[in-house]
Amino acid sequence: MEATAPLADTDLRTDEELITAVVGGEVDSFEELIVRYQPRIFGMARKYFRNESDVEDVVQTIFTKTYQKLGSFNHTAPFEHWFMRLSVNTCYDALRRKSKRHEQAITDVMFENETDDAWHNRLGSIPDPNDQEALDKASELVHTVLGQVSEKARIVLTLQELEGRSIKEIAEITGWSISLVKVQAFRARKEMRAAVERFLSREERL
Amino acid sequence: MPNQQRYINEAMNADETEQKILQLAKAIPADERVPSGFAMRVMSHVREIHTRETSQADEQFLRLARNIPANEHVPYAFEKRIMAHVRALLNENPFTIWSRMLWRAVAPCLGVMLLAIVLAFGRGDSNGTEPLATVDPPVEAPDQNAIDFETVLLASFDDLEYTW
């Protein structure tokens, strides 16, 4: 009889226990926190950044900051909330740095190697989840349009419209007041409308 | 009016009636009067359609964006890379930390220096006295230093005299 393979070496400690261990000097426990949260953080970062190297950089910064600031986590709220707040703020900072460094025009990436109405059709059609190429194209379109709005607007649009978070949740994550989030949400919607309009008018001219 | 009547009569009597009717139609001048505010009315309707289309495009865009599944793929052994980075932070050279702190201190030090200069000059002006930089320090007599130096230098020899 063949011996069964051993189960994967999973750490059953809670987030709070792991944090206490890391703060107490057991650095290796931090790896378990990374393993737990990295898929979600990669998923989040890819909503803000198109380039894979930018995604990896920002995820590395998020985890490094988390390690450095873990001592300031006071266990009053769940770690996940604290961590998401830090992650979103790090993405926001990275977006601001990136927009200063590199302004990308809407036409730079959008219309190369495309037929006249390909993008317009893509806007109206939901891509098949199994068609990776269609998903990549749709993702490129979304990044291109969202790349035209301000960083604040992008954060608010992503949290509110794409992730479906409430105003209160956004206020908690970003650290802004509820009224500021409402104002930003209104402006973000306006900016997005203008970006979509520019996109469509550009296409009509082609 | 008589002309028009004549045209009608001719048209009715002619063999090619249709042609005459067409001629008659051409003879009637086009009525180009425009109701007041008509352009505004049309434009408001056009804007309404435009807004509706744009908001539809918004919704289409958001629907598309929401339907792109989150890509949670993690590069191979990414956690090892982060851990290596974290350990590198732990084992950082103390001199590197010290030099980083010194560089960080440059800006506040410059600020304090500028503030001190401004305060020094400001105080000089407001009191109507001379600025601190121009006040001469009290000068000791040059001979006194030489005497002190000689005393210190020869102190040990003085002690030797007593023991002999």
The pLDDT tens digits of the residues spanning A168-180 come to: 999 999 989 999 9
Return the CATH fold of A107-205.
Answer: Arc Repressor Mutant, subunit A (1.10.10)
A196 touches B: beta carbon within 8 Å: yes
* Contact of B74 with A39, CB cutoff 8 Å: yes
B55 touches A: beta carbon within 8 Å: yes
- Higher-confidence residue: A157 or B18? A157
Cα distances (angstroms) measured from residue A178 to each of A23, A86, A87, A174: 33, 18, 20, 10
Query: Do A60 and B85 count as a contact with CB atoms less than 8 A apart?
Result: yes
Between the two ends of chain A, the Cα-to-Cα distance in Å is 69
**Which range has the worst mean pLDDT, A42-51, A93-102, B105-114, B122-131?**
B122-131
Question: Which of the listed ranges A80-84, B44-48, B148-152 does the model predict with the highest average pLDDT?
Answer: A80-84
For residues B112 and B50, what is the distance between their CA atoms, to the nearest angstrom?
Answer: 59
Provide the pLDDT confidence category of residue B137 given band limits of 50, 70 and 90: low
Interface of B with A in 76-135 (CB under 8 A): 78-83, 85-87, 89-90
| Mean pLDDT value of segment A138-142 | 86
Looking at domain A10-97, its CATH class is mainly alpha
Residue B116 has pLDDT above 50, yes or no: yes
Task: For A164-187, give one letter per residue: b (16+ CB within 10 A) or e.
Answer: ebebebbbbbbebeeeebeebbee
Helices (H), chain B: 2-13, 17-27, 38-66, 78-90, 94-127, 142-163
Residue A114 has pLDDT above 60, yes or no: no
Nearest to B70 by CA among A120, A78, A32, A48: A48
The four Cα atoms B37, B43, B48, B51 give a dihedral, to 10 degrees, of -150
pLDDT at A2: 40
Query: Do A31 and B67 count as a contact with CB atoms less than 8 A apart?
Result: no
- Higher-confidence residue: A65 or B147? A65
pLDDT at A3: 41
Query: Do B57 and A141 count as a contact with CB atoms less than 8 A apart?
Result: no
pLDDT at B133: 54
Residue A115 has pLDDT above 70, yes or no: no
Q: Which of B58, B74, B86 lies closest to A193 in CB terms? A: B58
B61 touches A: beta carbon within 8 Å: yes
Among all chains, which residue has been given the structure tokens 């059953």?
Answer: A12
pLDDT, averaged across chain A:
82
Query: Do A124 and B69 count as a contact with CB atoms less than 8 A apart?
Result: no
Nearest to A129 by CA among B64, B59, B57: B64
Residue A127 has pLDDT above 90, yes or no: no
* ipTM score of complex: 0.77
Query: Which class for A120: exposed (0-12), middle (13-18), buried (19 or more C-beta within 10 A)?
Result: middle
For residues A13 and A17, what is the distance between their CA atoms, to the nearest angstrom?
Answer: 6
Give the residue range(s) of CATH 1.10.10.10 domains in chain A.
107-205
Provide the pLDDT confidence category of residue A1 given band limits of 50, 70 and 90: very low
pLDDT, averaged across chain B:
78
Phi, psi of B129 (to 5 degrees): -100, 175
- Higher-confidence residue: A160 or B121? A160
**Which range has the worst mean pLDDT, A12-16, A107-111, B142-146?**
A107-111
Provide the pLDDT confidence category of residue A85 given band limits of 50, 70 and 90: very high
Q: What is the pLDDT of residues A16-68, one digit of tens each?
A: 899 999 988 888 899 999 999 999 999 999 999 988 999 999 999 999 999 99
- Higher-confidence residue: A202 or A107? A202
* Contact of A44 with B97, CB cutoff 8 Å: no
Query: Do B82 and A27 count as a contact with CB atoms less than 8 A apart?
Result: no
| Mean pLDDT value of segment B98-108 | 87
Give the residue range(s) of CATH 1.10.1740.10 domains in chain A.
10-97
Q: Which of B65, B70, B81 lies closest to A43 in CB terms? A: B70
